[in-house]
Structure 1
Amino acid sequence: MELGLNKLPWWGQLALYVVLGAGLVATHHYMYAVDMEAKVARTHAQRRTIETGIARARVEERRLPEFRSRIAELNARLAALRNVLPEQKDVGDLLRRIQTLATQSNLTIRGFKPQPVAQRQQHAEWPISLQLEGTYHDLGAFFDKVSRMPRIINISGINIKAHATTEPSPATVDAQCTVTTFVLMEAPAPGARPGARPAGAGARPPVAAR
């Protein structure tokens, strides 16, 4: 080889060395540099992903007070609803309270008949059919007391007629009405099937003790 190289003119030898050096550089580039460039590209991509995540986290962090405020507002609204809408376990006490108000208003309860529960999205309607006997004044006093209750109570279907009796009685009117209370539904139990019928839907309200 040396003999062959020695036979070449100096510029030929120089050109050969340049070609060999370029080949070595190219081999090194493809073996190491290309792999390094791929690693650098992956690192840059990971860095951009992390920077995007950090920027997103900073945005969420700035909105954290807003989220906390909304949660506090929702909790306050739920607490307010609990004040005016009894939960299912409190319905019996509420119905007994209505009966007490009727008695305190000097009304005689001739009928107290629970009606089927109407299921809504967030609450249920528990209607009670009442048949009352008394005077116009006593009936008005009863309706007024019910309207002043902290719970939401709706009185509908009022039908008043003259009291029909052959016996002496202080009552002058017979009244029939439907008293409806609105019950806050409990959250579904964990693992409950979506769309499953809530407990109590279509049932009748508990009958308050007379």
Structure 2
Amino acid sequence: MSTKRASVNIDINAWFEGVAEQFRGLNPNEPGQWPVLPKLAAFAVVVLAAVALGWFLVLADVQAALDAEREKEPNLKQDYRSKLAQAVNLPELRKQKSQVEEYVTQLEKQLPGKAEMDALLSDINQAGLGRGLQFELFRPGQILVKDYYAELPIALRVSGRYHDVGSFAADVSNLSRIVTLHNLSVVAPTGKDLGGALSMEATARTYRYLDAGEVAEQKKAAASKKAAGAKK
């Protein structure tokens, strides 16, 4: 029994010695003449090196891109939920949009066109005269053109009784066209003339919509300004 064990140990030792012998005295310049085991070992080393190099040169960038896409996932899910909620409420949103469009249309009807501005200025003047006020100043200013409308400031100074001045301000606010009063300043009579007329200074602002030609001109100017900014 002991003879068999000794034989096995001797055979194993002899096998390891044979393997080691194959790796001794290898000529690196002539790998084709190497024994089988060194060739297999060299092949395994080359494969592992190729895999490692491929990981660092190719797969590492792919992994980084994958991680970046995974980081986008929560935001995309949130965006999806938001759009899904909008899609579910689409009929109600369309109804609200229609209501807003109707409201905007009503507001646009309160804005005079270019041809109606003179009539509106006359209405403001008549509102003051109808209350018995005396116009000391009625001077339209420079028209300010905005994106979708134009604004006309009018410098006003009227004098009259307290209630008439208040009624005039109310009449202006109730005109069919939009007119707003800004920078109101009411000066009471001084000295002995306590029963005299009050003096009110204000800036009335009225608005009109732009016609098709003016809208086109505004868009052209905005496009030119954007192009000039892009060149800088």
Q: TM-score, normalised by structure 1?
A: 0.52
Check conservation: 1:134, 1:170, Cα contact below 8 A.
no
**Does 2:202 correspond to 1:177?**
yes
**Does 2:197 correspond to 1:156?**
no
Deviations 1:164-207 (A, max 9, x none): 699x897421111111101111112798695349xxxxxxxxxx
Shift of residue 150, structure 1, vs aligned partner: 2.1
**For 2:176, what is the secondary structure of its paired residue?**
coil
Deviations 1:118-153 (A, max 9, x none): 111110111100110101111000011111112111
Length, aligned pairs only: 131
In the alignment, the residues of structure 2 paired with residue 82 and residue 194 of structure 1 have an alpha-carbon distance, to the nearest angstrom, of 19
Relative to its length, the structure with more helix (as a share) is 2
**Does 2:171 correspond to 1:145?**
yes
**Does 2:127 correspond to 1:106?**
no
**For 2:220, what is the secondary structure of its paired residue?**
coil
**For 1:150, what is the secondary structure of its paired residue?**
coil
Check conservation: 1:162, 1:174, Cα contact below 8 A.
yes
Aligned residue number for residue 29 of structure 2? none
Residue 162 of structure 1 aligns with an amino acid whose one-letter code is: A
Residue 121 of structure 2 aligns with an amino acid whose one-letter code is: L
Residue 144 of structure 1 aligns with an amino acid whose one-letter code is: A
Aligned residue number for residue 90 of structure 1? 116
Deviations 1:23-46 (A, max 9, x none): xxxxxxxxxxxxxxxxxxxxxxxx
Check conservation: 1:115, 1:128, Cα contact below 8 A.
yes
**Does 2:121 correspond to 1:116?**
no
Check conservation: 1:83, 1:150, Cα contact below 8 A.
no
Deviations 1:91-113 (A, max 9, x none): 10001000000001110001111
| Aligned pairs for 1:27-38 within 5 A | none
Residue 83 of structure 1 aligns with an amino acid whose one-letter code is: K
In the alignment, the residues of structure 2 paired with residue 117 and residue 162 of structure 1 have an alpha-carbon distance, to the nearest angstrom, of 32
Distance 1:108 1:189, change over 3 A: closer
Greater Rg by CA: 2
Residue 101 of structure 1 aligns with an amino acid whose one-letter code is: A
Deviations 1:64-107 (A, max 9, x none): xxxxx999878745642332111111010001000000001110
Aligned residue number for residue 82 of structure 2? none
Say which structure, 1 or 2, has more relative contact order (CA 8 Å, 6+ apart): 1
In the alignment, the residues of structure 1 paired with residue 185 and residue 216 of structure 2 have an alpha-carbon distance, to the nearest angstrom, of 46
Q: TM-score, normalised by structure 2?
A: 0.47
Query: What percentage of residue pairs aligned between the two structures are identical?
Result: 23
In the alignment, the residues of structure 2 paired with residue 152 and residue 191 of structure 1 have an alpha-carbon distance, to the nearest angstrom, of 24
Question: Which consecutive residues of structure 2, in runs of 5 or more, have no partner in the other structure?
Answer: 1-94, 223-232
**For 1:188, what is the secondary structure of its paired residue?**
helix
Aligned residue number for residue 212 of structure 2? 187
